[in-house]
């Protein structure tokens, strides 16, 4: 056995033992490194992970993802210890809005309902009426009273997509994800020419012109379902590259090509096996959310979970 593989299987064994000792469960997002998804008890998209966090029967959750995901898990399960193996794993998009700025904007739109994409801080969720993820945003917006203006925070591309799908005018926050917003129409067209016959799937965080040019628009979980059920045999994938190995694993006889080589979220790659092991040993870094903020943010997350 090569030395590196041996070291890795030793680490995996140690993680398994520690997990049992701590009564822990490991949740991982699809964008995580393959070896992290391999040791996870559950791998999912943002919505599926929030649902797991709210319902899982474990004392400790090791969240292999980025800060806002672990923070949402803590808000939904305050009695549990929620560990984020690398506390510096952030989300560029979540950094585009603050609670104070949302509060100020709300005052400019009297009577508005604030819909907040989960890729946001607890402070922002606390200023919101309801949360959403990329897989339920259309449903969430469709559930709102028709006579109230809607402020959609913080992703303008997702907001634009939802507005088009629901036919509802919304006030859009001017934020974006620096991984998805960088994918250009020219890159999508170049991928199509390189892989004739492949279907283009893109995430709704992509720009409107990229979304319009795609064959299918979905969350990460939605892309997996579509690829599995589609009769097509090859796909161009317009989201973070971590999806490629998850898609390939689910559909080993199909082909998947990244829409652009630059679509990598560095923060999603901060989690390593060593850091997972260390977090289980020390029960750190443990996520804490200020109780008042957590209570308000929980309402917006719980409302979302009630309607999906
Ligand atoms: P999903 O909700 O589709 O998993 O997306 C999360 C995310 O961070 C997209 O960049
Ligand atoms: Fe945030 Fe974009 Fe990374 Fe998703 S891909 S976690 S939205 S920075």
Q: What is the pLDDT of residues 19-59, one digit of tens each?
A: 999 999 999 999 999 999 999 999 999 999 999 999 999 99
Closest ligand to the CA of 204: 1
pLDDT value, residue 302:
96
pLDDT (average), residues 195-221:
98
Confidence of residue 102 (pLDDT cuts 50, 70, 90): very high
pLDDT of residue 7: 73
The residue-averaged pLDDT of 289-306 equals: 97
**Ligand 2 in contact with 117 (CB < 6 A)?**
no
Whole-number pLDDT of residue 98: 98
Q: Which pLDDT score is estimated for 6?
A: 72
Say if ligand 2 is within 6 A of residue 53 CB. Answer: no
Preceding amide of 246 cis, omega within 30:
no
Q: Looking at the CA of residue 68, tell me the nearest atom of ligand 2.
A: 6
Determine the atom of ligand 2 nearest the C-alpha atom of 29.
Answer: 6
pLDDT band at residue 66 using 50, 70 and 90 as cut-offs: very high
Task: Band the pLDDT of 103: cuts 50, 70, 90.
Answer: very high
Minimum-distance ligand to the CA of 47?
Answer: 1
User: Within 6 Å (CB) of ligand 1, which residues are found?
Assistant: 45-46, 119, 133-135, 177, 203, 205, 219-220
The chain-wide mean pLDDT, for the chain, equals 97
Of the listed ligands, the closest to the CA of 93 is 2
Whether ligand 2 lies within 6 angstroms of the CB of 179 is answered as: yes
Distance 110 CA to ligand 2 centre (A): 31
What predicted TM-score, i.e. pTM, was given to this entire model? 0.96
Q: What is the pLDDT of residue 259?
A: 98
Domains along the chain with CATH numbers: 2-90+268-289 (3.40.50.10800), 94-176 (3.40.50.10800), 180-264 (3.40.50.10800)
**Atom 3 in ligand 1: residue holding the nearest Cα:** 219
**What's the whole-number mean pLDDT along residues 265-284?**
98
Q: What's the pLDDT score for residue 2?
A: 63
pLDDT at residue 3 in the model: 67
- Residue 292: what pLDDT? 98
Nearest ligand to the CA of 51 is 1
Distance 179 CA to ligand 2 centre (A): 7
């Amino acid at each position: 056995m090569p030395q590196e593989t041996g070291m890795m299987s030793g680490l995996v064994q140690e993680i398994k033992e520690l997990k049992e000792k701590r009564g822990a469960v490991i949740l991982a997002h699809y964008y995580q490194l393959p070896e992290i998804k391999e040791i996870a008890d559950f791998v999912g998209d943002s919505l599926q992970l929030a649902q797991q966090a709210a319902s899982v029967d474990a004392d400790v959750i090791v969240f292999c993802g980025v800060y806002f995901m672990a923070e949402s898990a803590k808000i939904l399960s305050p009695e549990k210890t929620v560990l984020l193996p690398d506390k510096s794993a952030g989300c560029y998009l979540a950094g585009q809005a603050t609670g104070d700025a949302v509060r100020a904007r709300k005052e400019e739109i009297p009577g508005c309902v604030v819909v907040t994409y989960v890729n946001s801080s607890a402070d922002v969720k606390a200023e919101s009426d309801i949360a959403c993820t990329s897989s339920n945003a259309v449903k969430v917006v469709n559930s709102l009273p028709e006579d109230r203006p809607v402020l959609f925070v913080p992703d303008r591309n997702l907001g634009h997509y939802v507005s088009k799908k629901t036919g509802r005018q919304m006030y859009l926050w001017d934020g974006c994800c620096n991984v998805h917003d960088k994918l250009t129409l020219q890159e999508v067209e170049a991928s199509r020419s390189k892989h004739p016959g492949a279907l283009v799937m893109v995430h709704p965080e992509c720009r409107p012109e990229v979304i319009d040019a795609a064959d299918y628009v979905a969350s990460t979980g939605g892309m997996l379902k579509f690829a599995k059920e589609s009769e097509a045999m090859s796909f161009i994938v317009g989201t973070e590259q971590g999806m490629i190995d998850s898609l390939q694993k689910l559909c080993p006889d199909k082909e998947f090509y990244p829409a652009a080589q630059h679509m990598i979220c560095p923060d999603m790659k901060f989690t390593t096996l060593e850091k997972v092991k260390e977090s289980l040993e020390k029960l750190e870094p443990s996520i804490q959310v200020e109780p008042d903020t957590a209570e308000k943010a929980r309402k917006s997350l719980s409302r979302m979970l009630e309607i999906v």
